[in-house]
Structure 1
Amino acid sequence: MGAPNAIDFALIVVNYGDPALVAGNIGPDVDADSGALVVLVDNFHSPESRTAAEALCCERGWEFVASANDGFGAGVDRGVAAARARGHRAFITLNPDAVASVDVLRALATHVTEDPLALVSPFMVTGQGTPHFRGAQMHRRMGRMRSGWSEHDDDPVWANWLSGACLAFSATAFDRLGGFGEDFFLYWEDVDISRRAVELGMHLDLRPDLLAVHDEGGTQQAGSARTKSPTYYYFNIRNRMLFGRRHLRGREWARWVLASPRESALIWMRGGRRQAFTEPRGLWAAVRGLLAGAAQVLRRPERGSRRQPGIPRQPAALPHSGEGATSARALEPAEGSTVRVTVAIPTFRRPDQLAALLAALPARIAETPDAEIDVLVIDNAPEGSARATVEAAPAGVRYVHETTPGISAARNRALDESRSADLLAFLDDDEIPLAGWLSSLVEVWRGHRSAAVAGRVISVFHEDTDPWIIASGTFRRPQRATGTSLRTAAAGNLLLDIRQVQALGLRFEGSLGLSGGEDTLFTRQLVERGGTIVWCNESAAEDHVVPSRLTRDWAVQRAFSAGNGWANVNLLLAPSSTRRLALRGQFLLGGGARIAVGLARHRYGRASGHLVHDARGTRTFHRGRGMLAGARGHLYQEYARN
């Protein structure tokens, strides 16, 4: 049993396939510790393995989290969410093929509790006792890996990183980092989170006095003692490019790209030359990884992302745009004073969901004592069907009826009705705000004085949801570190500084009212006119997805709509007819490329039985169709009313 004042911690294990390895590697000493919570995140492999994983958790008293196979990073993020719901603030990832005693785990948990801005790993050995991990380093210019450690992470060529096979971190660190990078799927996500931590002023600690065992071979070997699996080659090569795109700019990024063929070959060579004949699938996987990584060359980097791995990022500056914005800032409430906030909820014929949202708001309002809060419901149904729901809600909810159809008209009515407020917080009528939703938004706004603050929306599904829907990524929304600057944002959880919005002359585009994309255009214009948008990872609202949206037909329709909306928004932003013509050509080419790549990926997924490739290939195909339609001038009205 743990000591009476011992630190509680959660052990996050992401499993794929038969959980027997996990069952054998987590010892009875962990189960016997009253302060230890084991969270088993089961990435879906088969109904049999899912059943076995759930049974193991019931038998051992562990927390079970069922997950689509979205990769290691997504699995860790879901495990952390489950542990936090149980009140835990210290977390340790442990691979299924790794073993650590409860004493080692508790020492790691104590370290990150006492130093919440640290990421910590122990030394690791193989089952035979040979060294496996004593720190790792990445070549800053090429992405090549080696064993080693620089005490102060000050080597100009090699940057430290910690292994996700056994990695401890606090809730504070997790929130600041915005979780793991879920796009990596497998490999490099630990390199990415290590370097992001350094860039955000945090630090990496290696504990040589603590020892874990990691028998990596069981999950990576293919046909010989040296050969790796095709999955290993594909994701290591592909994710090297993804990492570079996210962390490098200019000459550093160009040098990284030019080194890719050689570095990819060296990754493949980790399995030896003979594998070209004994395991040709590995060579093909390496080629596919290089091609997938090459697609990162065309990606536009996120605004505010890092320039050089390991170089700390400067704190975000306060907006200092044009004269209008300056005068608007002068009118803002003083630091620490009470702010006036309007919570605006546009609604259209969702009485039950609206009632649930209104019932949840008083608790969120009570968490924000330094604000005067006004709740406003904008009913966009022609018959005014939300009036009865509002009248039955807790006191203090304002009701207005906006008869002009479309979400743009409803959002513009919210802007008009909140002219006397300092801040306007948008929520969709099918969401439920979680603890800290509004107080976190206001706190981040006070710290940055940005024109907008965006928070998370978490999709919640029924247990019997089609695995294809989850694998498609239709409802995946990335997390980011709090304070990250954004180029655009959705309005489902969005706080606006009313005075800055007024100074920038912003309104929601009426022509997009029935198609969607009005929030994308609005926030793009906000940034182009000198405003700033920052991310708040602590603010979250749950979107309980209705069954009608959990179908493959709806996912296909949404992919088409997203591609079509993206094309139309960019065409509306084009400053001249010449630029619009160039964009049409770009979207014709880009849409055609997505159709070809998506179709190939879909067919590969069907042939191989790989659900993620099948589903995401289908989405890419239909997104390309939407882009082609937009390039030809078609605006798809997803929310058209009969």
Structure 2
Amino acid sequence: MTGGRTAVLVVSYGSSEMVAENLRRTTLPDDAVVVVVDNFTTEDERAAIGAIAAREGWQLVCPDRNLGFGAGMNAAAKRAAESDADAYVLLNPDAYLEEDGVARLSAAVLAEPASLISPLVIRPDGRHFASEMELDLDSGSVRRIRDGRRYANSALWLSGACLAISRPMWERTGGFDDDYFLYWEDIDLSVRAARAGAALRVDHDVRAVHSAGGTQSHDGEAAGKSPVYYFYNVRNRLVFAAQHLDRARQRRWARRAVPAAWDILMRGGRRQLLHPGRTIVPAVRGTMSGLAYLRQSRRAGTEAP
């Protein structure tokens, strides 16, 4: 599978100017198509991104509500397939690829269609954001793989901040699972792709720059983790357990739900705890929602393959 068309897929949520700036920084191959999904925020934002899309030549998909990241990317991929794209490069709205990164990632998945490939993802100051990542299947902890050291039982995953996948592999996996809405959908996709025979790897010669959290705040507050971040990271850890783990591991993850939620809260620092409505409350709600999802899956008799 060589010589196919490339599509760059972006999901925006009130971030039209950010998307425009990062796509301007990203070099596109000849004949590439850019598909932007505008998850609805306001009529003014819809008009703004529509004007930018017309000027830049993007294909714009305009759902009438906020689909979330995963379902938004699924809508973008559907439009890309209609445009005869064979390689999809998924890019966060607050990220851009350096130099010829899009072309290299696209060529790689066209040459290796049974693969998921990500670049090295760095922060604007050069610090590491994501590369080869792993999930501890015994506890639900996630971390970067360093010097080949791995958990005893783990799953490799690649960050959805920037990820390349061939159209056949996307169709084989079914894309992202809408149940996640935000966060953990990249872990879920990585695990399902690996089960479908995909090889997961990072091309360290390609770099994406990701301003982590750049899309989280729309109210002028200082940078930090949002209530949405806490709710869905806490919740979706348990959604993943319900979908992928046997009963013994599900029980272990459920018993760790509260300390796991605390660990997630600490990613934003202790100062944020001064605002419990934006931190502790969504983490508690996320724990309750995730445990409810887990119980419902058990009643339905759902267990990991």
Instruction: Using structure 1 for the length normalisation, give the TM-score.
Output: 0.45
Aligned match of 1:142 = 139
Aligned match of 1:59 = 55
**1:175 match: secondary structure:** helix
Question: Residue 88 and residue 266 in structure 1: after superposition, are their counterparts in 2 closer, same or farther (change >3 A)?
Answer: same
Summarize the alignment of residues 153-192 of structure 1 with structure 2, pairs less than 5 Å apart.
156-192=152-188
Counterpart Cα distance in 1 of 2:302 and 2:173: 14
Amino acid in the other structure paired with 2:76: G
Partner residue of 1:201 out of 186, 197, 203: 197
Summarize the alignment of residues 62-461 of structure 1 with structure 2, pairs less than 5 Å apart.
62-67=58-63, 68-101=65-98, 103-148=100-145, 156-220=152-216, 227-278=224-275, 280-300=277-297, 306-307=304-305
Q: Over residues 437-456 of structure 1, what are the superposed CA-to-partner deviations in whole Å (9 max), with x where a residue is unaligned?
A: xxxxxxxxxxxxxxxxxxxx
Amino acid in the other structure paired with 2:130: F
Counterpart Cα distance in 2 of 1:154 and 1:197: 20
Counterpart Cα distance in 1 of 2:99 and 2:9: 14
Question: Is the Cα–Cα contact under 8 Å of residues 98 and 206 in structure 2 kept in the other structure?
Answer: no
Amino acid in the other structure paired with 1:92: V
Counterpart Cα distance in 1 of 2:227 and 2:150: 35
Q: Does 1:44 align with 2:40?
A: yes
Shift of residue 278 of structure 1? 4.1
Counterpart Cα distance in 2 of 1:196 and 1:241: 16
Bigger drift between 54-63 and 140-149 goes to 140-149
Counterpart Cα distance in 1 of 2:71 and 2:147: 29
Amino acid in the other structure paired with 1:97: D
Counterpart Cα distance in 2 of 1:144 and 1:249: 17
Question: Is the Cα–Cα contact under 8 Å of residues 91 and 169 in structure 1 kept in the other structure?
Answer: yes
Aligned match of 1:586 = none
Question: Residue 303 and residue 173 in structure 1: after superposition, are their counterparts in 2 closer, same or farther (change >3 A)?
Answer: farther
Question: Residue 28 and residue 98 in structure 1: after superposition, are their counterparts in 2 closer, same or farther (change >3 A)?
Answer: closer
Question: Is the Cα–Cα contact under 8 Å of residues 113 and 170 in structure 1 kept in the other structure?
Answer: yes
Question: Is the Cα–Cα contact under 8 Å of residues 7 and 35 in structure 1 kept in the other structure?
Answer: no
**2:21 match: secondary structure:** helix
Shift of residue 299 of structure 1? 1.6
Question: Residue 263 and residue 155 in structure 1: after superposition, are their counterparts in 2 closer, same or farther (change >3 A)?
Answer: closer
Q: Structure 1 runs of 4+ off > 4 angstroms?
A: 221-225, 301-305
Aligned CA RMSD, in angstroms, stands at 2.2
Question: Is the Cα–Cα contact under 8 Å of residues 99 and 214 in structure 1 kept in the other structure?
Answer: yes
Name stretches of at least 5 consecutive residues in structure 1 with no aligned partner.
Answer: 308-642
Summarize the alignment of residues 501-580 of structure 1 with structure 2, pairs less than 5 Å apart.
none
Shift of residue 218 of structure 1? 1.8
Counterpart Cα distance in 1 of 2:59 and 2:159: 24
Q: Over residues 268-305 of structure 1, what are the superposed CA-to-partner deviations in whole Å (9 max), with x where a residue is unaligned?
A: 12122232214542111111111111112322367786
State the aligned residue count: 300
**1:45 match: secondary structure:** coil
Question: Residue 114 and residue 142 in structure 1: after superposition, are their counterparts in 2 closer, same or farther (change >3 A)?
Answer: same
Higher Cα Rg: structure 1 or 2?
1
Q: Does 1:14 align with 2:24?
A: no
Shift of residue 133 of structure 1? 1.5
Shift of residue 192 of structure 1? 0.3
Q: Which has the higher contact order (CA 8 A, sep 6+)?
A: 2
